[in-house]
Chain A
Amino acid sequence: MPLIAIQGVSRVYPGDVRAVWELDLEIPDGSFTTLLGPSGCGKTTTLRMIAGLELPTAGEIRIGDLLAFSLARGRSLAPSKRGLGLVFQSYALWPHLTVAQNITFGLEVQRLGKAEIERRRDEVAAALQIDSLLHRYTSELSGGQQQRVAIARVLVMRPSVLLLDEPLSNLDATLRMDMRAELKRLHAETGSTVIYVTHDQLEALTMSTHIALMNEGELQQFAPPLELYARPGNRFAATFLGNPRINLLEGRSERDRIVCGELTVPLEAPLGVAAGAPVTVGLRAEELRLSAVGAGGQAASADGQAASTDARATAGDGASGDATGRARGTVTSVLPTGSDWYYRVAVGGHDLIVRQNALPDLRLGDEVVVTAAPAPLKAFDADGRSLTGAAGLAPREGRDARAAGVTP
């Protein structure tokens, strides 16, 4: 059951700047939904429109049974009436108030009884382990402590939805890891719905139950994180997620394979495009394997497995007509990260990034055999749309259909 339903919402600034354009999104109850995208993609604007701090220029927003915003009905519910809590990127703690006063401000505004206010204050302070800080001023706190106070100030109001706007961007790397785990715990314990804005794919992938990927004001894809990673709906989704970046190879389709210059990727099922049509194949770094072509002509797999003897034979021909997904290349760069090794390999005209997790025996300039084993295959047509099936909601088609038929 969707808790928040966003229908056809746009936010257009003067000068026809489309911050958000015709957004349709249904956020499930109890989910940890992340609005992900590069800066300026409209994710924060979307969050602020849900919160009611900014008004859409078109569309409708429902939160549970409440009609939070509807342009057609000229209705906009005050932010505080929407049952939401928002944690700001800057935390926006009031510097002239103590931690306790920051937390109880909203309760006082609602004119709750003194005993009730203190009870709820202590409860939330204990839950977030800030009870010892209550009488300090917020400027005396560390970044992590300020973060907790900001969350406490919101949770004390018992919101049905928690909105978080890049809450970890002001913390250092270690603290960010801790807070990620803590936010995930918070979500699990309270069972409330969380909407989380970030430009950091790692945060999105590790924390969310759902990711709404946005770019240039438009929703690109809405899916659970691992599905989004495995089956991106378009080129943007494929490139935005994944570190290192996905390798994109321009090629053309044939009956049972895609030929990208030196490298050929076999097809298990037809793509549904005309033979010879331009197709882009996406190969993630971990979907490629390297085997060394030894000095004695003996190929050794970087995985430490026994070399497949036919590797040398087939790759040696450099045959574009071969459907085994192998090609010969040269190592142009070796980048160890500690746990993994990244290699850049020149294959024909392509510059591929390959990730290996076992001890390699490769140096700059080595000849290697590259094996592509995409699972599942990611291929895109000339417009960048997936030909191999997208995970979750692919709203673009939906909108196109609506534009064609339903709306005048």
Chain B
Amino acid sequence: MRTRLQRFRLNVTPQRVLAVLFLLVLGYLVVVPLGVMLQETFVVHPLERFQIPGSMPGDFTLAHWERTFVSENAYAFFYRPLINTLIISLGLAFLALAIGGTLAWLVVRTDLPFKGLISNAAIIPYVMPSWTLALAWITLFKNERIGGTQGIFTALTGVSTPDWFAYGLFPITITLALHYFPFGFMLIGGALRNIDAQLEESAELLGAGRLTILRRVVVPLVLPAIFSTFLLTFSRGLGTFGTPAFLGGPVREFVLSTTLYANLIGQRPGIGYLVAFVMISLGVLVLYMDHRIIGTRRSFVTISGKGARAGLVALGRWRGPVAALVLTFIFGVIAVPIVALAVDTVMLRPGIYAWSNFSLHYWIGEASRAIGLGTGEPGILRNPQLMGALGNTMQLAITVALICGVLGMLIGYTVVRLRGTLISRLLDQLSFLPYLMPSIALGSIFLAMFAVARGPIPSLYGTFWLLVIACVVSYLPYAVKAGISAMMQVGPELEEAAIMAGASWWTRMRRVLFPVQKATYFSGMLLPFISVTRELSLLILLVTPATQLATTITLRYTDRGWYPYTNAMVLVLVTIVITSTVVSRRLMKTDLAKGLGG
């Protein structure tokens, strides 16, 4: 007994202490809220008292489940949004895969010119807020259904756009695919790059033709990356809120995320939580499939490319046209929405695209009910409310990036040092769990968890810190992934050498382990920073007037049809994320693709 105690005392190491600590905190922030949320689907909420006859708030009820799944309204309330969601997610996943995969193949395996430019530019659509394209789509193609004005396209051509083209599932799928194809580009591109050239060369020596090699060697090797892309974009499609809200709203076409929002914000929180539960179940299903189908992928993708790059496919006379097409496509995806939004913000009276209508009113104008839309709001750059929200966004983005960076490093350290133990696996998986949770559903579990005080933890609803917690948990998978890969590269000897020199744990972290992998950690921080700056889906349920963010406040302006303000704000956000991506790439040698991937 005594020996066991002695052994325990000897085995108390920093990594073990950290592991236990992280397990407790993550358990409380990820696992417990899931249970709380599930519980909420069986409870009568104050607002629901009148919908469920004879009930008191807090009573146990099955009404939410009945209503959602079997009532006569179930189709309109639940099944139709569910089907819409699946259609959009599937369509988006296929499109993103096709576009991203083709681009990746062209850049990695052919003699396409301008590869550097294309690889850098192809990431930008992902960096921009996902609903930038949705707003641009509206600006370009809106018809008289909303706001009475027409889009740029109709103004230029005189052709009125049909509803199915302007709103609903079709544009939602297209714009989301154009936002998420960089996933496919980065994941599949990475896998293609990692294939050892000798594998292809030996196939060639055995007499295999180019197509046979592609079919029998290359595709099977990148198959894991293809599956990852598909499942990842699919689950992103489940949880996205902004795009379906902007493009589906006008034609009252709902998906699960907008249904969840409408119910939670409206009169039926019980049903809202239930929808969130369904979304999370779908996310878990995707994660499960991911493990089942490509459980071995990790050992697959780590094939290190030692040999020289195998001969690139010569595009021959197609080289020029293909390059032109690719560049047009990428810059179209980046520039067209930006230009469309920019044009919209400088047109005083909406829908009239003429020089005489040019005005910077929506940027720097004074508050007035007589000019333009007559909103009584000052231009965004001198609008204290909007600038305050932007300040909140920056504060949140920096806080979250720092916390994620530190946590990612520490959890990565713990997981790698305790590798092979149960606690390491548990920690790895727990921090990975939020990865495939649809963002808006993740937001809703924090709403359920922290809306009221629980034990020693006060109600955090309405505070900045609730937003911080939600963002940190949501982006932790990226940060931990960066931390783990950084630690794996370092190996234990560098730390052990410092131990031998008598450096304390803190000194080791500060003077050895962090500086050695600085670039990786900054990459791990850049992604949360950008993500927070453009986050809408995750936080839309958690903000209050006191904690408005640049993204969430734009939604209020859109609701009133004040698109120029929304669009100007989006342009500010786009400028911030693109600048920070480019600057950090230059200064810190960060690489976004490193933080991504699965």
Contacts and interface: CB of A to CB of B under 8 A. Distances in A.
B515 interface: yes
A89 B511 CA distance: 22
Contacts of A110: 502
Interface in A73-97: 73-74, 76, 78-81, 84-86, 88-90, 92-96
Contact of B493 (A57, A78, A90): A90
Interface string A100-123: 000001100110000000000000
B512 interface: yes
Contacts of B9: 74
A153 B500 CA distance: 11
Given A71-B7, A72-B3, A94-B512, A88 B496 contact: yes
Contact of A92 (B7, B11, B497, B504): B497
B498 A71 contact: no
B25 interface: no
Contacts of B426: none
Contacts of A51: 500
Given A71-B6, A71-B7, A96-B515, A90 B491 contact: yes
Contacts of A74: 2, 5-7, 9-10
Contacts of B504: 109
B501 A92 contact: no
Contact of B502 (A57, A80, A92, A153): A80
Contacts of A154: 500
Contact of A94 (B2, B3, B497, B507): B497
A85 B500 CA distance: 7
Interface in B467-519: 491, 493-494, 496-504, 507, 511-512, 515-516, 518
Interface string B318-362: 000000000000000000000000000000000000000000000
Contacts of A89: 493
A401 to B, nearest CB: 24
Interface in A125-181: 153-154, 157
Contact of A55 (B5, B11, B493): B11
A182 to B, nearest CB: 21
Nearest to A57: B7
Contacts of A73: 6
A96 B516 contact: yes
Contact of B3 (A53, A71, A80, A105): A71
Contacts of B7: 57, 71, 74
Contacts of A85: 500
Contacts of A78: 499, 502
| Residue of A89, A93, A96, A110 with highest tally of chain B CB at under 10 A | A96
A367 to B, nearest CB: 47
B500 A86 contact: yes
Contacts of B499: 53, 78-80
B321 to A, nearest CB: 44
B502 A109 contact: yes
Contacts of A109: 498, 501-504, 507
Contact of B501 (A57, A88, A157): A157
A297 B499 CA distance: 72
A16 to B, nearest CB: 15
A57 to B, nearest CB: 8
Chain B at the A interface: SS class:
helix
Contacts, number: 77
B11 to A, nearest CB: 7
B10 A106 contact: no
Nearest to A54: B496
Contacts of A53: 496, 499-500
Contacts of B498: 94, 105, 109
A53 B503 CA distance: 13
A84 B2 CA distance: 29
B126 to A, nearest CB: 31
A96 B2 CA distance: 44
Contact of A80 (B11, B501, B511, B512): B501
Interface centre among B2, B497, B512 (most CB of A within 10 A): B497
Interface string A287-303: 00000000000000000
B177 to A, nearest CB: 42
Nearest to A13: B420
B493 A92 contact: yes
A153 B494 CA distance: 13
Contacts of A80: 499-503
A106 B502 contact: yes
B516 A94 contact: yes
Contacts of B502: 78-81, 106, 109-110
A406 B534 CA distance: 73
B506 to A, nearest CB: 11
B10 A55 contact: yes
A138 to B, nearest CB: 11
B494 to A, nearest CB: 5
Interface string A375-399: 0000000000000000000000000
A81 B504 CA distance: 12
A71 B4 CA distance: 9
A92 B404 CA distance: 28
B496 A76 contact: no
Contacts of B496: 53, 86, 88, 92
A73 B491 CA distance: 32
Interface in B520-540: none
B420 to A, nearest CB: 9
A105 B495 CA distance: 12
Contacts of A157: 501
Interface string B9-24: 1110000000000000
A109 B505 CA distance: 12
Nearest to A55: B10
Contacts of A79: 499-500, 502
A79 B493 CA distance: 14
Given A55-B11, A88-B497, A105 B6 contact: no
Given A55-B11, A90-B491, A94-B512, A84 B500 contact: yes
Interface of A: 51, 53, 55, 57, 71-74, 76, 78-81, 84-86, 88-90, 92-96, 105-106, 109-110, 153-154, 157
Nearest first, the 5 A-B pairs at minimum CB distance are A74-B6, A80-B502, A106-B501, A92-B493, A92-B497
Interface of B: 2-3, 5-7, 9-11, 491, 493-494, 496-504, 507, 511-512, 515-516, 518
Given A80-B501, A86-B497, A109-B504, 16 more contacts: A53-B499, A72-B3, A73-B6, A74-B7, A80-B502, A80-B503, A81-B502, A84-B500, A86-B496, A88-B497, A89-B493, A92-B493, A92-B494, A106-B502, A110-B502, A154-B500
7 contacts: A71-B6, A74-B2, A79-B502, A80-B503, A84-B500, A89-B493, A105-B503
